[in-house]
Structure 1
Amino acid sequence: MSDDWISRFQGLSNLPERIRGILAARSQVIRMRKGTVIFGPGNAPENLLFLLDGTVRVQQLAENGREIVLYRVQAGESCVMTTACLLAYEDYSAEGVAETDITAAAIPRTVFDDLISQSKEFRTFVFSAYSRRITDLFHVIEDIAFQRMDIRLAQKLLDLGKGGVVKATHQQLAAELGTAREVISRQLSEFQRRDWIKQSRGNVELLDEASIARLAQSEAA
C-alpha cells in the first residue's frame, strides 16, 4: 500500500523510513458510512485508526440511558480511547460513532505492539497525542462540574451554528453538554423568551447572535 496517507500526520511523517515502511506495508485504508458504530463497550480493539477524512464522535453511555460526548476525532488524528485500550489490553468502555462518512488507515494491534516496543519515535507520537486528548478531557470534566449551563449552552450554539441555524435536537444538545434533555429544554425556552433564538423541530435558529456571544463570553467577567 502507498504511504501517501502517512504524510498527513506530522508525527508519522517524521518517523525513520523503516518504520514508515512497516506502517505502509501492514496497514489498510478502510471506509465506513455515516452512523456506523466503530466500537462499543465490551469490545476489544483490533486496530488503531488514523482518521484521513470525516469525523468520529466518542461518547460515554450511562446506565440510565444518558450519554455525554467526550470528544471528536477529526481528520489527521487518532483515537485516544483506542490507544488507551490497546496499551492496557482492555475492552472499550465508550462508544465511537462515524458522525460523517469516514476514511481511515487501520493499523493492526500486532503492528501497534511491535512499534510501541521498538520505535522511540512512534512511542513519542502516540503518547504526545494521548496527553493532548487527556488534557481536553480534563477541560470537559471542569466545564461540567463548574461552569454555568446557560453559558455552556450559549457557547455550544455558537460552535454548532452554521448559517445561523443549529441542526440538533434537545437530546443531542444534552449529550454534547453532559446534562439532561429537560435542562436543555428549559434553557432554550428562556433563550427564546428573550428573543435570542427561534425553535422548530430539530432546529434552533439564532436570532440574536450578539447577545448569545455576550453570554458565552461572560465567564471571563
Structure 2
Amino acid sequence: MSQPAPTDLLTLYPAMAALPAPVTQLTPMTVPAGTQLFRENDPCQGFPLVLHGEVRVSRSAANGRELELYRVSPGEMCLVSSASLFAHQPMTAHGVATTDTTLCLLTPPAFETALADPEFRRYVLGLFAARMADLTALIEAIAFQRLDSRLASALLGHGQQLKTTHQALADELGTVREIVTRLLHRFERDGLVELSRESITIRDSAGLRAIAAGQAG
C-alpha cells in the first residue's frame, strides 16, 4: 500500500512538496549493491528519486566495453531516465546500484502530472541542465585529453591508497583493462604508484598531478 512521501524525500527533492498527494504517495524500496535497476533499450519504468546510496549509469558497446556516464547520488537526477520519459523512448543506458541503495520511483503518469507544476518543471529542467554539463565535460575529456592524463586524474583525490581494480578504472575511463594495466605499470616504474591486488598506493601525488595537467609524460 502506498504511503505518504518520507521526509527525507521532500528534503532531497524539495519541489515534490508542491505536488498533489496522489503523486507524492511513494513507497521507498531498498536494493542491494550490484542490482541492475534499468537496462538499455527497455521502456522507462519511472523517474528515480535516490534517497540513500548511489546508482552508476553506463553505456555498453557491442564488444562488451562500458563507459560510465555519471552517478546518481541522493537529491540528484538521472538524465537517461528523464530523457526517456520526455521523449517516450526506450532507455539509452543501464543503471546499477553501487552500494545498498534506497529510492522511490515516480511512475511515468505521475511524472507527466508533476511536470504540469511550474516549480517542479523548473526544478527538473535545472537538474537536467546540470547533468548535461557533466556529460559535456565527459565528452570533452574523452575527445581531447590523453588517457594517461585522465587515468592520473582518476587516481587523485582518493587519499594515499585507492581500493579498485584495473577493470573498474577501465570502465570509468571508457577503455580496455589492458591499456589501463600498461599505463599503471608505467606509473609504477616511474615511482608514481605502487600496485598490489585491488589496491593502488600513491607514491608521488605531485607527479600524478603534473600528468593530469598534461605537463609530463
Any residues of structure 2 matched to 1:129-144 within 5 Å, and which? Answer: 129-144=127-142
SS of equivalent residue, structure 2 residue 106: strand
Partner Cα separation in structure 1 for residue 193 and residue 209 of structure 2: 12
Say whether the 8 Å CA contact 2:12–2:74 is kept in structure 1. no
Partner of 1:6: 9
1:169 to 165, 168, 177: 165
Whose helix proportion is higher, 1 or 2? 1
In structure 1, what residue type is equivalent to 2:29?
I
- 2:45 is aligned with 1:24: no
* 1:171-199 Cα shifts (integer Å, max 9, x gaps): 11111111222221111111000111111
2:146 to 145, 148, 171: 148
Say whether the 8 Å CA contact 1:9–1:76 is kept in structure 2. yes
Partner of 2:59: 60
* 1:3-42 Cα shifts (integer Å, max 9, x gaps): 41333235516x53xx1534432x2211111000000112
Q: RMSD between aligned alpha carbons?
A: 1.7
SS of equivalent residue, structure 1 residue 34: coil
Partner of 1:104: 103
SS of equivalent residue, structure 1 residue 126: helix
Say whether the 8 Å CA contact 1:6–1:12 is kept in structure 2. no
Partner Cα separation in structure 1 for residue 42 and residue 195 of structure 2: 39
SS of equivalent residue, structure 1 residue 133: helix
In structure 2, what residue type is equivalent to 1:172?
A
1:141–1:200 CA distance, 2 compared to 1 (3 A):
same
- Identity among equivalent positions (%) equals 34
Paired residue total:
212
Structure 2: where are the runs of 5+ without partners? none
Partner Cα separation in structure 1 for residue 164 and residue 129 of structure 2: 31
In structure 1, what residue type is equivalent to 2:162?
V
Structure 1: where are the runs of 5+ without partners? none
Say whether the 8 Å CA contact 1:80–1:133 is kept in structure 2. yes
Residue 158 of structure 1 and its aligned partner are, at CA, apart by: 0.9
Partner Cα separation in structure 1 for residue 58 and residue 120 of structure 2: 27
Partner Cα separation in structure 2 for residue 197 and residue 154 of structure 1: 10
SS of equivalent residue, structure 1 residue 28: coil
Partner Cα separation in structure 2 for residue 77 and residue 189 of structure 1: 36
Partner of 2:187: 191
2:200 to 201, 204, 217: 204
Say whether the 8 Å CA contact 1:60–1:67 is kept in structure 2. yes
Q: Please, what TM-score do these two structures have when normalized by structure 2?
A: 0.91
Partner Cα separation in structure 2 for residue 147 and residue 20 of structure 1: 47
1:123–1:2 CA distance, 2 compared to 1 (3 A):
closer
